[in-house]
Amino acid sequence: MTDSDRFPLLTDEGRRLLRRLREHPRAPKYTAQCGNRLTADYLRRVRAFESELRASPRGWPPGALPHWLDDFVEMCFRDVPFYRRYGDRPLQFADLPTTTRADLSREIWSFVPDSQPLDDLIWYATSGATGHPLTILSHPVAGACYTPLLKLALTRHKVELTSGAGQVACILVGWQKRAYTYPSITPQQNDAGHIKLNLHPDDWRRPDDRAPFLDDCNPEIYTGDPIAFAELLQLPLRSRPRALISTAMMLLPELRRRLESHFGCPVVDVYSMNETGPVAVRDPDMETWTLLQPGLFVEILDSDGNPCPIGRRGEVTLTGGFNPFLPLLRYRTNDFAALDYRGDQPVLIGLEGRRPVLFRSADGHAISTLDVTAALKPFALPQFALHQFADGALHLRLRNGAAADDSQLRAALTPLFGVTQTLTIEHVDSFGDKTLNYTTDLSPTTQPPNP
Amino acid sequence: MPAGFCTTRALNFLRNDLAELASLAQAEKFIADADRREEIARLCFRALGLRPAGETEAQAQDRLATLNSAERQRVIRAAREAEARASEIRRKMAEEAARQAEMKAMRE
């Protein structure tokens, strides 16, 4: 594959920027070559998606279904092998079976509609943070639709992206032992640069190159996770982005405060996953999450699969999406929140990733992970994991360099769990790429009832 | 009770013939789809040793064979097409994965 395949619409200005990013004397050791694969037709479709984002009303009235849902379900039953196996379509949407990551993991090809051409299929593997490594099939248009969605998320925080030709719009930072890294350019932003980078020192010719390279790129925004952002804080950067977009993992309030004060810009939480792209953005009030995609229906289901009433927490379950290779029908995300309304708009509240874990105090009371998160609020922990063993003993792991004193952490957790509860604190060099914040050996039957 | 009705035949139809039929098409289709509805009625008649009024034995057999084989052919064809499509997608996935691995190897 050549640059003309990777960048079918590359302009001279885009070519110059790409060369500068590739041949920069302080550039990282990029590990991959990756392009946008956007043709003129595909670019038109991305622009149409962006117009639709601006024009379409989002949401649906309480207790009702979005107007597009019926046609979408009909298409799934007619055109998608996995859903066709359900047999005849039930009359009620709520009677449709739900799907899980395990279904996608087992036979992702069965979710591709028969009418979907296989040209320009994009394939990528995701890590198995939830126990099911997943291959995602996608399309250049779907990949490019992330940009308008993130732009929409930023407008909730009064940030309008303006970068264009010759400038770097966005750097996606990671901190991993191994990662795909590459520079790219985006025709939907007038050939502005997009770079995927790994801040791990092993990925650079000289670790000292990191700050000068990032300063020279001077990206309008950074996207990444708390670990990469914590590393970004350590670098002697002179340049300042206009926003940081945090995805993938829980960002504790103290780290957020430090980032915002250090960089002088908002840190915007975006709820996103590989299966759907960006789903929601956390509002400046920090309480509600505004939904981003007009074509994505969100339900909240209880553990029996029944819809929860407005305001009650349950599993976020999604239908729709913009990836033509992966139409989702009642996809259980393993993330938990409640649906509520602000005016006529549905919003998520109390969003927390992964199945809720209930801890147990020394005297047998249930402790929500939300309470643990609140107790850890004063600490700027970029990465941590709290585990409770079957006998109730607690084990807290922190990444080395965390700016937190063990005795202060104990003092924060003791009021929750009780003074008699054993707590060990361990500082580790690495957690691997992704870690669940909360885990327990208490089985569901030995877990205390919901508080 | 009509002449020739046999309880054993009826039970055999309910226990065995219907089980085989259930593996070929969704139960609702035997109500909603006119051909499937006729098929199940004719299968039931045959199992009980009956035939529709006004038809000869040969006509009844011929009509049932047409319905039966058409449905089997449709199911087989659909399964074959689904498998061919799944294979094609898996082949494209393997091609893409190999292309990416090669690109990565060239850079390292």
* Closest partner CB to A118 (pick from B29, B92, B100): B92
Using beta carbons and an 8 Å cutoff, which residues of A are at the interface with B?
Answer: 1, 30-33, 81, 87-88, 107, 109-110, 112, 114, 118, 121-124, 135, 137, 180
ipTM of the complex: 0.70
Q: State the pTM of this model.
A: 0.76
Alpha carbon distance B108, B106 (integer Å): 6
Report chain A residues whose CB lies below 8 A from the CB of B90: 109
Predicted confidence at residue A42, as pLDDT, reads 95
Chain A: residue whose CA lies nearest to B100: A32
* Closest partner CB to A123 (pick from B26, B85, B93): B93
Q: What is the pLDDT along chain A (451 residues), one digit of tens a residue?
A: 788 889 999 999 999 999 999 999 999 999 888 899 999 999 999 999 999 998 877 889 998 999 999 999 999 999 999 999 998 899 899 999 999 988 998 899 999 999 999 988 998 877 544 445 688 999 999 999 999 999 999 999 999 999 999 999 999 998 776 778 999 999 989 999 999 999 988 899 999 999 999 999 999 999 988 778 988 999 999 999 999 999 866 677 888 899 999 999 999 999 999 899 999 999 988 889 999 999 999 999 998 899 999 999 999 999 999 999 999 999 999 889 999 999 999 999 989 766 557 788 898 877 877 678 778 878 877 778 899 998 999 999 988 777 778 999 999 999 999 989 999 999 888 775 455 678 888 754 444 433 3
Alpha carbon distance B35, B54 (integer Å): 19
Residue A360's beta-bridge partner residues? Answer: A366
Amino acid, single-letter form, for residue A356: P
DSSP annotation of A309: P
Predicted confidence at residue A267, as pLDDT, reads 95
Query: Are residues A118 and B108, on separate chains, in Cβ contact within 8 Å?
Result: no
Q: Which two tokens stand for residue A343?
A: 């005016």
What are the φ/ψ torsions at residue A62 (nearest 5 degrees)?
A: -55, 130
**Cβ pairs bridging A and B (under 8 Å):** 48
Alpha carbon distance A350, A370 (integer Å): 9
Alpha carbon distance B70, B65 (integer Å): 8
Report chain B residues whose CB lies below 8 A from the CB of A114: 85
Query: Are residues B85 and A30, on separate chains, in Cβ contact within 8 Å?
Result: no
Indicate whether B29 pLDDT > 60. Answer: yes
Placement of tokens 């009625």 in the chain: B41
Alpha carbon distance A185, A22 (integer Å): 12
Cβ–Cβ contact B90 with A under 8 A: yes
Predicted confidence at residue A48, as pLDDT, reads 95
Query: Are residues B93 and A121, on separate chains, in Cβ contact within 8 Å?
Result: yes
Predicted confidence at residue A445, as pLDDT, reads 42
Predicted confidence at residue A142, as pLDDT, reads 95
Domains in chain A with CATH codes: 358-440 (3.30.300)
Alpha carbon distance A151, A161 (integer Å): 7
Alpha carbon distance A92, A305 (integer Å): 14
Query: Are residues B96 and A109, on separate chains, in Cβ contact within 8 Å?
Result: no
Cβ–Cβ contact B92 with A under 8 A: yes
Chain A: residue whose CA lies nearest to B97: A123
Alpha carbon distance B4, A425 (integer Å): 83
Where do the domains of chain B lie?
7-107
- Classify residue A126 as exposed, middle or buried by CB count within 10 Å of its CB (0-12, 13-18, 19+): middle
Cβ–Cβ contact B34 with A under 8 A: no
* Closest partner CB to B104 (pick from A31, A112, A114): A31
Predicted confidence at residue A127, as pLDDT, reads 54
Report chain B residues whose CB lies below 8 A from the CB of A122: 96
Enclosing H/E stretch for B46: helix B34-48
Alpha carbon distance A406, A424 (integer Å): 9
Query: Are residues B82 and A81, on separate chains, in Cβ contact within 8 Å?
Result: yes
Chain A contacts in chain B segment 68-87 (CB below 8 A): 82, 85-86
Select the more confidently predicted residue: A37 or B70. A37
DSSP annotation of B17: I
Predicted confidence at residue A133, as pLDDT, reads 61
Query: Are residues B103 and A33, on separate chains, in Cβ contact within 8 Å?
Result: yes
Give the distance from residue A36's alpha carbon to the nearest chain B alpha carbon, in angstroms.
14
Chain B: residue whose CA lies nearest to A82: B82
